[in-house]
Structure formats: structure tokens, C-alpha cells
Amino acid sequence: MDLFDVSERLPNRDDVPLSLYAKLDEEPLIDTERKVVFFEFSAISKPDFKKIKYDKNSWMKMWENKINSKGNHNLPSLFQGVKFVNIEFSLSTENHIAKRWLKTHLQQGRRGWYEIELKDRVENDNDLKALVYPNLFSPALAFSVRTAKKIKGKVATTLGAVFSMTSWPAANIADVVNVLSKADATVLAVHDIGQGNACGFRGASDKPVNLWIDIGCGVNRNASTVPSGLVLCYSKSAPILLTHWDKDHWAGARKGAPAAQPNIFLNRTWIVPRQEVGPQHVKFAERIISENGTIFIVDNSNIGTSNLLSIPIQGSRTIEISLGTGANSDDRNNHQCIVIRVLDEMPDRKWLLPGDISYSNMPSKWYEDRYVAIVASHHGADVGSKNVPAPYGTKDDYAVLAFTFGPGNVHGSTSVSHPTHEMTKRYAKIGWGLDGWTTSGNSGDVPPTSKGVATAQHFPAKTGKHLLGKLIGWVEPPAIDGSSPPCGMKCNAALNV
């Protein structure tokens, strides 16, 4: 089964290699009350990895050729026939394996590598259970763990080099400016793609997306949150500006593509940050290139010491890009992620698209400003920041806080859902309203009120409800005739206000 297979066929156990090299894909989530820790790994078949021929100099040259190919995809695939999977564990904090993994994580962060041997069955309650996802969109299969140990030496070094962005050359910033200068941010579309993020700039409500800010959707245990038959706007060859490398911010490029053109979003220009990545991210980047796409990498070397790229775009507006200032280089949500805002020609009117960042890790003047529109960071999760940006103007002025999440989404060992009540209260306190959430204590169960909008709701339990994507303007809600899609093309990403 291909990592990006969207056929919805059920996986079989032969799709899962029993011998794996694995790397933490997310920070371990610890529930101190229940004494449970949740681990999520991105993994590659051990036998398949041994077939990859790695030499530092040739590998660097190969990636330079691939990144700089600009349309020449007649280059050898690095991972042809290689199996990739995602693995989840919920373990007691007293479990000896959990203790070892947490210790390694403290020492090496996400850079630590592990060798995991699985058994093709769960024999009894004492077995260490692993949930394995053969691809991004399939249900999990249950296995048990035979052995799990940390890897040292040459193998670990080689794995770290192969599944890294270190060898990838930074973009010529003039190329990035040229691509983004063509954007028209008259209308912001926040799409309903389940648990993830996908926002598009439009020249009008009835015009196609001309720039994507992320193009994600629900994956792995949140794959079921994706609307049935999702097809995103593809009628214009819009570039994709990726805030960070979490899968729920780019997987919609496959899940949301039309069946007849499954790689149409890969064959685009992708502007991406340089971050700590793992096997599945590198495989995806290589897939973009193999499908004739282009990757422009933004990092400290080309954005400059000011950490601000300001680009005039269509309609006398300006798009600003900054990199997240979080100190932990393993944290894709906050370190070197791309944060975007748009400045209107009317003074003081701004949009903010922060990805999953903690607002404190943006430039300080950004969280001190007021905004006509914000796409709530990390789908309304508690981002650990008290520096929450406020809405534009007075309580009677037009301003929108948009929450993009999947109905019934779950995270970590406690299956917490986004948005969280604690974060909702912070938004409400700064002036965003959200009365329907703050008074009930059930954030996300029903549509928010006041200045809030959402792409989904959790109630009724287990199924929830999709509320469609949202269109946001600058002074008032954009005019929309209710057609689906509004541009009259063949996608099915319905939008309302």
C-alpha cells in the first residue's frame, strides 16, 4: 500500500513491515493524572532502508539536482518500493520502554532513532500494543511489539542524514517574491477538510484559489474527519505556501485531488520552511518533485536577519512572512515555521494565518496588533500562549476568528479534542466573543457565536457535523450566491459565510 493511497481500500497485514526503523514524529504527550504517555512514530521498513545507497556527497548532489530541477522529473526515485508507516503507542509512564523513550527524547529530542520489531498479532493483555497505519488515510492495524531499542552509531547517523532537509538548497528569495507577488487576497477561504488546515486566497467569492496557505486534511486516527469525496479547488495552478511540515497541513494535496488528476496539487510550486522532518515528510517532498512540482525553501539564510519578508501583492495589499522564533528546533509548530499575515490598503486592517504556532513565538508586534481575520492557531488547541491577538475595532466592527478542525477529532493518550475550552476562554477574554462555547464549556460542540466561525462541530457524539468552509472579507462578509463550488468549476469544497 502506497503511503499516499486514497483508494479507501482496507489495508491488510502484509502492508506492514514487521522490522522497522522509527523516529518520533510528534512530541510525547503525557497525561500526568492517568499516568499515560502517547508516542507517535514515523517509520520505514528496515529491509527496504538497507537497499538505499547513501553517500554523503552524492546524496547532497542528488537533492540539489532534484530541488533545482524546476520541472525536470526525469531523476531516479530515491524510495521506489520502500514502505513507510505511522505507529502509535499509549503506554504507562511506569513502562520500562516508555521510560527509555522519554529519556532518549530528553537527550536527543526527535533526532533519536529506534529499531522496532513487531509481532503479527496481539496475543494477550500483557503484550505491548502498537497501532500501525500503513498509509496516511487508512485505519490502523493492531500489532504487538517484540523488541524496541535505541539505535546508535553509523546506522543512526545515516538515517538522520537521509531523512533530513540539511542537503536541500535554500531558494533564491527573488523566486519566492515573484511567486507570491501574484497573489490576490480579496477573499479568504477557510476550507472544511476535517482535522487539518487548508486556506485559500481568492480574487472574489466566485473566483478560484490563487494561493494556498497549507493544503491539509485529517490523517491517521483523524482521517475519518475528512468530508466524504473531498475535492479542493484545482481550476487555477495556485502555488502552496506551507506553514510547517505536520502532515495535517499538506496531506490534502493527495486526499483533496480529483480522482482523474491525483497529483495535480503536487505539480505546483511549494514554498516551505526548513525544519526537523522524518521519513514520511521526505518521501512526500520527493513525490512533489517526481510529479514535476517545484520546492522553494525559506530559512534564515534567505529571509534575512530582520526575519521579515514583505511582498506587495495584487489589490494594493501586502503579504508578510516571518519565521517562528521557538527555541526548540524539534518543534515544527514553533521553530522556523512560516507565519503569514496580509495587510490591506486600508490602515490597520490585517489577516493573520499562524499555522500551529504559539502566538508568543511570532514577532512581538504581530501579537500586539488587532486583526480583521485570524485562522485560530493549531485548530483552537491550547498553544501555551497568553499573548492572544485581539479583533479589529470595536465589538460592532467586522472581524472573524475561524476555527478549522474535524468533527470528533482526538489527540494524545486522553483523546483531547480541538478546540479546547481553556484556549476558547482566552480568545473570548480578548474580545472574540464565542459565547456559545464559553458558557457551555463544550467548545466545538455547536457553532460558535459572536465573531467566531468554525468548519465543524463535535455534536452529535461520534459523528459530529461538517459546517462547510468559510469565506472572509475585509469590511463585511463577502457576497456569495450559495453555489457549490462558488467558482463554478468541478471541486466540491462548498463555502459559506
Mapped to the 3 state alphabet, what secondary structure does the chain carry?
A: CCCCCCCCCCCCHHHCCCEEEEEECCCCEEECCCCEEEEEEEEEEHHHHCCCCCCHHHHHHHHHHHHCCCCCCCCCCCCCCCCEEEEEEEEECCCHHHHHHHHHHHHHHHHCEEEEEEECCCCCCCCCEEEEECCCCCCCEEEEEEEEEECCHHHHHHHHHHCCCCCCCCCCHHHHHHHHCCCCCCEEEECCCCCCCEEEEECCCCCCEEEEEEECCCCHHHHHHCCCCCCCCCCCCCCEECCCCCHHHCCHHHHCCCCCCCCCCCCCEEEEECCCCCHHHHHHHHHHHHCCCEEEEECHHHHCCCCCEEEEEHHHEEEEEEEEECCCCCCCCCEEEEEEEEECCCCCCEEEECCCCCHHHCCHHHHHCEECEEECHHHHCCCCCCCCCEECCCCCCCCEEEECCCCCCCECCCCECCCCHHHHHHHHHHHHECHHHHCCCCCCCCCCCECEEECEECCCCCCCEECCEEEECCCCCCCCCCCCCCCCCCCCCCEEC
pLDDT score, position 434? 87
Mean pLDDT lowest among 102-111, 186-195, 386-395? 102-111
| pLDDT above 60: residue 318 | yes
pLDDT score, position 481? 59
Percent of the chain with pLDDT over 90: 62
Q: What is the mean pLDDT of residues 208-230?
A: 95
pLDDT score, position 11? 87
CB of 159 closer than 8 Å to CB of 21 = yes
Per-residue pLDDT band for 417 (boundaries 50, 70, 90) equals confident
pLDDT score, position 414? 57
Q: What is the mean pLDDT of residues 159-184?
A: 95
pLDDT score, position 488? 56
Mean pLDDT lowest among 61-75, 175-189, 293-307? 61-75
Out of 75-79, 97-101, 422-426, give the one with best mean pLDDT.
Answer: 422-426
pLDDT score, position 313? 98
pLDDT by residue (tens digit) across 288-314?
Answer: 998 889 999 999 999 988 899 999 999
pLDDT score, position 138? 92
For residue 239, which amino acid is it?
A: P
How many CA atoms, within 13 angstroms, populate the side-chain half-sphere of residue 71?
0
Work out whether strand 187-190 and strand 198-202 pair parallel, antiparallel, or are unpaired.
antiparallel
| pLDDT above 90: residue 250 | yes
| pLDDT above 80: residue 73 | no
Task: Indicate the domain borders of the chain.
Answer: 13-162, 173-496
Q: What is the mean pLDDT of residues 207-235?
A: 94
pLDDT score, position 203? 94
pLDDT score, position 31? 78
pLDDT score, position 317? 97
Out of 89-103, 193-207, 454-468, give the one with best mean pLDDT.
Answer: 193-207
* Calpha distance 6→3 (Å, rounded): 9
| pLDDT above 80: residue 108 | no
pLDDT score, position 436? 77
Mean pLDDT lowest among 20-34, 123-137, 428-442? 428-442
pLDDT score, position 334? 93
Q: What is the mean pLDDT of residues 33-60?
A: 89
CATH fold of 173-496, please? Metallo-beta-lactamase; Chain A (3.60.15)
Q: What is the mean pLDDT of residues 170-186?
A: 96
| pLDDT above 90: residue 7 | no
pLDDT score, position 494? 65
CB of 198 closer than 8 Å to CB of 215 = yes
* Calpha distance 8→81 (Å, rounded): 20
pLDDT score, position 253? 97
| pLDDT above 60: residue 482 | no
What's the pTM value of the predicted model, to 2 decimals? Answer: 0.95
The burial of 236, by beta-carbon neighbours within 10 Å (0-12 exposed, 13-18 middle, 19 or more buried), is given as: middle
pLDDT score, position 180? 98
Mean pLDDT lowest among 16-25, 101-110, 378-387, 460-469? 101-110
| pLDDT above 60: residue 118 | yes
Mean pLDDT lowest among 20-29, 71-80, 259-268? 71-80
| pLDDT above 90: residue 337 | yes
Mean pLDDT lowest among 109-123, 141-155, 318-332? 109-123
| pLDDT above 80: residue 388 | yes
pLDDT score, position 415? 63
